[in-house]
Structure 1
Amino acid sequence: MPQVPPLPIATPVKPTSPQPAPGRNVVSLLPQSERSDGELVHAIAAGEPWAAAMLLDRYGPLVERLIRRVMGHDPELEDLVHDAFATILTSIHQVRDGQAVKGWISSVAVHTAHRAIRRRRLSRWLFFWQHDEELPEPSSVPAHGPREALRRVYAALDELSAEDRIAFTLRFVEEMPLEDVASACGVSLATVKRRLARAEQRFTALAKRDPVLRGWMEEGDRWTTNQ
């Protein structure tokens, strides 16, 4: 009986990583979640819609938090965040260094809040000159809970210049390092230190005259009513 030759044993084929098509950048094969900031900037400039969405997902919380810190609980917060991102998406091509994207986005958020503060102060001045009728008296019912204390903090911050207020909130509310505050404000470290010193002095003087904030200061360890 003729012998049947042994069947050849198939050698398992090891899976290989996908190879880029000729002329295609290897970076384009990376999952979108792994793209660096610099790659996102280039993709946005190339008109890739996913890149803008990813930038929003990555930095949306930062932009909202910074604007909220500066403005407080503001009814226009959503609009201000939208305005900031509109500026970011139309101007991000100006950023040449991918490592600078986060700092640049922070500065856009800060400047958006800055413009809103200045616009509102102008509106208040116009309202003052255009309305001679007697304004309604504020409520005399005291409310000394945390929400009221926060409201009074931002009422005191309303008395500061826009530049000093932004430096103050970024440093003491957001707790950003001095170097990051200076970068977000687009000024030197020496300038931001001068703004902070001026803002602290003004805020402390205002808080001392407010019974709620005075009590809060006496319990803290940074500002005291004996200063």
Structure 2
Amino acid sequence: MPNSKEKEEKIIKLLQNKATVELGFKMLVESYSRRLYWHIRSIVKSHSDADDVLQNTFVKVFKGIKGFQAEAKLYTWLYRIATNESLTFLKRQKKTESMEAIGQYEKNAPAYHDEENTMHKLNAAIDLLPEKQKLVFNLRYFDEMTYQDIADITGTSIGALKASYHHAVKKLETYLTTNNIH
């Protein structure tokens, strides 16, 4: 969950002062890299791709910290940059999986324990969602963010986010029921 407001303020002050920028950036990376990595990984899937996108995210943060608006939350600003970098990466890579490709993978995948297999199938179902629904679902369900925080990150209205989340859940329920996944 988000760092304390005091810690965010300290990091921002350190980053905006030339004499303490290195210390501030180190604190920023230590405080947020794990959560940002997993957020990015939920979008791009691959470990090495997530590492690359995370690095690009921190470069953008470093270059843009002077323009950061202090009235905003630091972590929502970071998530927005990470989300945009992830989506840009996906567009460049054009990594879209079809239902057929997922079915082929599942056919050839080694047998997992039931729980791992169910999680794998859930992730496969999530991958079938449109990008916006996938993003909203991951932020809400896995990252446990409020709709307001997701709105700050995505620049989307709360009503539209609720609709996207609802549609994502319905599509996942349909997929899991149709494929007899419990």
TM-score in terms of structure 1 length:
0.63
Give the counterpart letter for 1:58 in structure 2.
S
User: Judging changes above 3 Å, is the alpha-carbon distance between structure 1 residues 75 and 146 closer, same or farther for their aligned structure 2 residues?
Assistant: farther
User: Could you say if the C-alpha distance between residues 140 and 51 of structure 1 is closer, same or farther in structure 2, counting changes exceeding 3 Å?
Assistant: closer
**Alpha-carbon displacement from aligned partner over 1:58-109 (angstroms, at most 9, x marks no partner):** 2222212322344456442222211211121112222121652221012112
**C-alpha distance in 1, partners of 2:111/2:75?**
42
Which residue is equivalent to 2:164?
195
Question: For the residues of structure 2 that align with 1:166 and 1:68, how far apart are their CA atoms?
Answer: 11
1:180 aligns with 2:149: yes
Question: One-letter code of the match for 1:164?
Answer: Q
Q: For the structure 1 residues 140 and 105, does the alpha-carbon distance in structure 2 shift closer, same or farther, using more than 3 Å as the test?
A: closer
From 151, 155, 159, give the equivalent of 2:124: 155
- Aligned 8 A contact 1:62 1:106 in 2: no
Mapped partners of 1:203, 1:137: distance in 2: 17
- Give the CA deviation at 1:166: 0.5
Query: For the structure 1 residues 153 and 74, does the alpha-carbon distance in structure 2 shift closer, same or farther, using more than 3 Å as the test?
Result: farther
Which structure has the higher relative contact order (CA within 8 Å, separation 6+)?
A: 2
For residues 1-227 of structure 1, the aligned pairs below 5 Å read: 36-43=10-17, 48-72=21-45, 74-97=47-70, 99-120=72-93, 122-124=94-96, 138-139=107-108, 142-211=111-180, 214-215=181-182
TM-score normalised by structure 2 residue count: 0.77
Rg larger in structure? 1
Specify whether residues 118 and 186 from structure 1 end up closer, same or farther in structure 2 by C-alpha distance, changes over 3 A only. same
Paired residues of 2:125 and 2:176 also in contact (CA < 8 A): yes
List gaps (5 residues or longer) in structure 1. Answer: 1-32, 126-134, 216-227
Q: State the 1:178 CA deviation.
A: 1.5
Task: Give aligned-pair identity as a percent.
Answer: 18
In 1: Cα distance, 2:91 partner to 2:115 partner:
27
What is the one-letter code of the residue matched to 1:40?
A: L
Q: How many residues align?
A: 170
| Structure 2 gaps, min length 5 | 1-6, 98-103
Q: CA RMSD in A?
A: 3.0
